[in-house]
Structure formats: structure tokens, C-alpha cells
Chain A
């Protein structure tokens, strides 16, 4: 059972993802509402996978991705973005993101991506 850290500044999104993941056999071990907390939680919890929203206050997804990858080169981070953020996704992928999910997403696509990470 894979452990997941959900990072998104919206309660709604965190709840959506958590519900979908837990229904499909993933174990959500933590949540973070911005990139700074995400990095902290990563170090504290060592999740197998991180879902990372791109647009967040304080520290955004891209920066948090970089910091996490700097701490742990094996970190598996999946970006969650809105449509029209191709450039950000590209940058994220080049910075080491393993895959990405586009909002609005369906349970099916989320699980597809996370199962393969």
C-alpha cells in the first residue's frame, strides 16, 4: 500500500483526492496547504508519492518540487495543474516531476497516473 502526501491549498481538492485515493487502496498519510509545509511534511513523513498542486501561496508547487528533489533524489512527485499550465508542467517535469494530472480530473485518470508512478 503506497503512502501519499497530498499538497494543495484548497481544502476541497485535498478532500477530493483523498477520497479517490483511499477508495483505491492508497494510504493518505498527510496533507499540506502550501509548498513550505509540503517540504516539511515530506521530511517528516517520507511518503512514497507526493501529489503537488502547482499554484499555491508562500511556496508554489514548482519550488517545493525542487526542494523535495534536492532532499531526496528518488522522490516521486506528481504535479496537479489546471489547463493552460503547460509551461509550468514542462518545467516541473524537467525539474524531476514523475507525471502530472490535469484539473478537473476524474478518479480514473488519477488512479491511472498514480498506479504507474
Chain B
């Protein structure tokens, strides 16, 4: 990228941000058009405009291959837009555009990762051009409409002259002076003919008559070449001062050289023009309809807030880095606020006024926190809509007709989380299409409609967001799964005690796949456990329900936000841990005698008739110098996804709100530790994740 001396960083970010948005929009439109089997004017305009924009921005950023590919697609749609009756092969055309989109996406991806965008679009461009030629040919054969591209006003050789608005002042006795000016433009400034016209325009109001050579600057592109070689000759007469003339001429941009001469007579070539004079009034040639149709551009439902906003902009885009900083500072404020209002110096003092003010402060910081969090919230629609493409591609490849239904796309989730959602969702949808949905024949034999249905739904549920991927395919076979699990030695409970949910969750384990064939997309047995891991990484969990023969539902529960949680601080040895309040059922002290061990050293306790495993944190994390006698410590009962256990810790320190910070990337991820937080005294507390802890220790 050339360096204009401007930092390209913000530009690059904006380019990628807008580019990616545009590409997504484009993809949606194309898929819809393909489905509807028609290209509505609004869609064509939109496609054209997007390609045009991508071309422009890419050229500015010197990503020439992207610009070229976009350009060729722009040309294609320019033609379609101008010739609405042209026969279009919808599937072929969509495939081509999608191929173009994929190319652009891939290149942008490379750029985003700091790599060189080295893809070559030649083949693609050649294909597109071939398609365009084919279209043009078939169109010309059929229709009688003239090719639209040429300018109908082109070929007038008759020079035009302008009656200028210049009126010599009646009392002025000054005579007009004749001038002859030759103008040379800078090399490579392009469109010299129009620039030349601009010069004439500038002079119009101060001259009485004006002639110029070449004459057809407005209409004939080739005149630019003449001007480049010979300069632009202007002759005029005026009564204004030389200084004024010079000043008007100096307004010309890209001026390389200019010769101004006062003459008595115009040169011969101008005189020749003079004789052929035809006076015409200012004339704006009949417009060729290159303007985009001015019907209101429909914002189709799928196309959400696009960059070319045709409604008032009450939205601004903010860099995520700034939001993260804001989040951090708000977090610090929360901690500081606690340090002030819960300061040990104040213990035992009666402080009416202070307490009142502290409560008010607390209220305000809570509000601030809520607002900042809400700023970070982004609707899941972007991620959901990406799935349309997957469904479309796969249904073609698998020859299965599938309808994707999207519900609750406006449900919002923290920006951090949404980025990690798309891969898992993609995989779930692929699974549903590949393994869940049966072939057309099988479906019809089973009395189902031939088109399969996949529903992608998002809704709020308490402090979490629930995302459901539902298909009406053949469902999961409990026995088959159980057999496989048994084979792999994964079954630890009596089989008849396992609920369906538990059986189905075996497929989330690594290496588990009951598919005999490995298909291109899935079935390699690495899928579901990676999905689970990724969901857990963002603090979520998976659950599966299914009815054999009817379909499968996969529930993905993810927290609304990772950022700030309520937690109970506990101490184990020198270390401090924070357990999210939401995972805690209760805490209590117990006696040595209440704990029983089984043969393998696993401890458990009975509470109100139920038996729960005991997990010693100090053992789990190898912490020295902690309390080991049951009677001296505390039990904290935690729960996650219907699994319950009691954690044994040294002591409870207190309750507080903590800002979740990720552990440094360099460190290996520890199952059961979700992150860390900085305490009021500057120390660090590790945040436990109930789901992870339970998964560690329990089968």
C-alpha cells in the first residue's frame, strides 16, 4: 500500500468493516434472488451499488485484484440493470456472484490477518466477462433496443456557443480586448476534455464571446487526447482586466502550462470556427438514463442497516477497542466504589448521610454499568443470516431442499461473544443438514414434506441467551448412541438410569461419531466436541433433545455478557477464588463425620436425603498450606446444568461484583477456571466456572 503520509490503520479498519458488511449484504440479496427466481429492480440496483462501492474503496486502498473482480461484477449488473428484459440464468449467475463474493471475502480475510492479499482474480473475471458477452449477444439477437452504453448525444460536430451572461456595463467606454489562451494540463490527470470545459465555464461570465478548439470537448472523449497533445486553445474577448482574466484561468486545477496572449485577431483556426457560428442557448443534452432508478430503494427485510443509509443516521460506529477500554474503566469504578463504601475504616461507624450518598453512588454506577454493557450488545442477526449461505450451498451439494427459518434475530448478545458464535453454529447447521435431515425420498416415505426445515431461534432466558438449532429430520437414536458410548467405555452409570438428555450428550464427546461414512462436512468425529469446547469458551453450555424420527433440538445457552458478574470470594490456602453467585446454591459448615468415602477415595455428603460429591479445591488445583480438615473449612454447593457438587474451601471472604478479565493468552487454559479478576487490594482472584469444575471431576 502506498503511503500518503496518512496512517492507513483507521482507513484499513473502516475498509474492512464496511467491506465485510457490504459483502454480507450482497450475499443475502443474491441468495434471496436465486430463491425467488427473479431479480427485482431494487435488488439489481443494490447489487450494482455494492459492487461499485467495493470497487471504489478497494482501488483507493490499492487492493487491485478485489477492485477488478468487483468491477467485472459491476459491469455485469450494469448491463442487467440497463436491459431488464435480458434472459438470466439465475442459478449460474448466482453461483458466479457467490464465487466473486467468496474471492473478495477470502482476500479481505487475508488482509485482516495482516497477510498479503495475493489472490488472483483473472479466472473469475474471465468467466464473468464471458457470461456478460453471452448475455449481450443473446440480448442483441432478441431485442431491438439499442445498446445503452453509448452516449446518444455523441456525434455532434456542430460547435456550440454560449450567450454569456456577461453584460458590458453601458457607461463603460472600455473596449473589449481579444485574448488567446493555450492551456496544458498535467500528465495523466484524466478527462482533460471535461477539465477544458470547466475552464470555459469559468470564463463564461466575464467574456463576451468565446471560441475554443477542440470544440467537441463535452461530447467527445477523444478530444481529451487532442488536448493532451496540442493543448487546449481558447479565444475570447472581454472588457475585464488582464488580472481578472488571469485569476479566472488560474482557478484551473491540474494546470501544467498556460500561455495568455492579447491579440488583435484570432488565429486562423478560430476564425474558421467563427464563420460557422451557430448561436445556441445553453443546452443540457438529453439525459441518458444512467442514473439509478429513483424509485425508493427497498430495504428488503433481510438487508439490515446498510452502509448506504437511506434513513437518518442516528447510529455511529465505535471501535471495539474503545468499548473495551470503557468496559475496563467502568469495571475499575465498580471496584473503587466498593473500596470506598465498604472500606474497613468505616466499620462500625454510624454514618447516615454517608450511607445515603453511598447508596446513590451505587445506584449511579449500576446504571452506568448497565448502559455500557448495553452499548456492547449486538443483535445475533448478522451471525444468523450468515447461515443462509451455508444452507444454500449445502442444500445444493447434498441435493436436499431445505428452508431456514430464523426467529428472534434481534436478540442481543455481547460483542465479544458473538464473534465466537458463528463457527459453532455453522457446524451445528451443517450437522443438521448432513445427518439430521433425510433425503427427499426418505422424507416422503416417512410422510414428511420433501423440503426439510431448520429453525434457528434466539431468545432471552434469565441472565442467558438461548439459541436453538432445530431440525425436523430423523432425530437421534438412543440405542445406537448408547452402544457406541459403551464401546468407547464412556458409560459410567446404569444404562436404564440414564436420561435421554444424558445419552444424547455423549455425542458431544471427542471422537464420538456414529457415522459409518465420513462425509465432506462432518462425520469425522471431531465436530461436536469442538463445538462444545468453543461454546464453553464463551461461558456457555450445550444440551440436546431429540425424538427419533421427528427431529432434533440443540440448545446452546450462553451468558449475556462475560464482563461483570456477581461472585462470592473464597480462600483456599494463599489463593483466592471467586465463584459466580449464579452457580451457588448454598454454603455451610459440616463435620468430619458427615463425609463418607467410597472405595476409590471419592468423598460425598448427604444433604436432605440427597447425595452429593465433595470436591476439594486444594486437591484439584494442588494448593499448599490450605485447610484440609473438613471441620475447619466450608462447603459451597454449586450447580451447573443439573449437575451438583460441593466444593471444599478454607473460608468465605465476601460477596462482590467482579470484572472478569481473561487469563493471559500465553497460559494454557485450565478447565474450571474462567478467568480472573483484580481485587480491591490489587491482588488477583481466579474465577471458577461451575460447569468446568463439574466437568473435570464428574463423568
Which A residues fall within an 8 A CB radius of B? 9-13, 15-16, 19-20, 23, 33-34, 37, 55-60, 62-63, 82-83, 85-91, 93-95, 98-100, 102-107, 109, 112-113, 116-117
- In the assembled complex, the Cα of A85 lies from the Cα of B221 at a distance in Å of 11
In the complex, B14 has a CB within 8 A of chain A: yes
Pick from B14, B194, B250, B310: contact of A57, CB under 8 Å:
B310
Is B631 part of the contact surface with A, judged by Cβ < 8 Å?
no
Distance A37 CA – B56 CA, assembled complex (angstroms): 22
Contact B11 A10 (CB under 8 A): no
Judge whether B198 is part of the interface by a CB distance below 8 angstroms. Answer: yes
Residue in A closest to B317 when the chains form the complex, CB atoms:
A11
Residues of B within 8 Å of A89, CB to CB, are: 191, 194
Report whether over half of chain B's contact residues are helix, strand or loop; otherwise say mixed.
Answer: loop
Q: Which of chain A's residues have a CB closer than 8 A to the CB of B17?
A: 11
CB-CB under 8 A for A34 and B221, given A12-B18, A19-B10, A105-B60: no
The smallest beta-carbon distance between A64 and chain B, in angstroms, is 12
For the complex, give the distance between the alpha carbons of A93 and B60 in Å: 24
* Chain A residues within an 8 Å CB radius of B292: 55, 57, 60
Interface residues of B (CB under 8 A from A): 4-6, 10-11, 14-15, 17-19, 45, 49, 52-53, 55-57, 59-60, 151, 189-191, 193-194, 197-198, 201, 218-219, 221, 250-254, 282, 284-285, 287-288, 290-292, 294, 296-297, 307-310, 312-313, 317
Given contacts A109-B254, A116-B253, contact A11 B14 (CB under 8 A): yes
Total of A-B residue pairs, C-beta within 8 Å: 130
Distance (Å) between the CB of B559 and the closest chain A CB?
A: 31
A108 to B252, CA, bound (A): 15
A15-B10, A55-B292, A102-B190 given as contacts; is B287 within 8 A of A91 (CB)?
yes
Is the Cβ of A104 less than 8 Å from the Cβ of B60? yes
Given known contacts A90-B197, A103-B59, A116-B253, what 6 new A-B pairs fall within 8 Å (CB)? A13-B60, A16-B11, A33-B308, A34-B310, A85-B290, A90-B219
In the complex, chain A residues whose CB is within 8 Å of the CB of B49: 9, 55, 57
Q: Is the CB of B309 within 8 A of A34?
A: yes
Q: Is the CB of A112 within 8 A of B15?
A: no
A19, A62, A104: which contacts B6 (Cβ < 8 A)? A19
- Judging by beta carbons under 8 Å apart, are B284 and A95 in contact? yes
18 contacts between A and B (CB under 8 A): A9-B49, A9-B307, A9-B309, A12-B57, A15-B14, A16-B11, A19-B11, A34-B310, A55-B49, A59-B294, A62-B291, A86-B221, A90-B219, A91-B284, A95-B284, A103-B56, A104-B56, A104-B60
Q: Which residue of A lies closest to B45 (CB)?
A: A57
In the bound complex, how far is the Cα of B185 from the Cα of A109, in angstroms?
13
Asked if B197 and A37 make an inter-chain contact with CB atoms under 8 angstroms apart, the answer reads no
Name the 9 nearest CB pairs between A and B, nearest first.
Answer: A104-B59, A9-B308, A104-B60, A113-B253, A12-B57, A58-B310, A107-B4, A57-B297, A116-B253
Asked if B56 and A13 make an inter-chain contact with CB atoms under 8 angstroms apart, the answer reads yes
Q: Which residues of B contact A95 (CB under 8 A)?
A: 284
In the assembled complex, which residues on chain B have CB atoms less than 8 Å from the CB atom of A98? 198
**Which residues of chain B are within 8 angstroms of A60 by Cβ–Cβ distance?**
291-292, 294
Set of chain B residues within 8 Å of A93, measured between Cβ atoms: 194, 197-198, 201
Contacts of B253 in A (CB 8 A): 99, 109, 112-113, 116
- Asked if residues B60 and A82 are in contact (CB atoms below 8 Å), the reply is no
Residues of A within 8 A of B197 (CB): 90, 93
Q: Which A residue's beta carbon lies closest to that of B291? A: A60
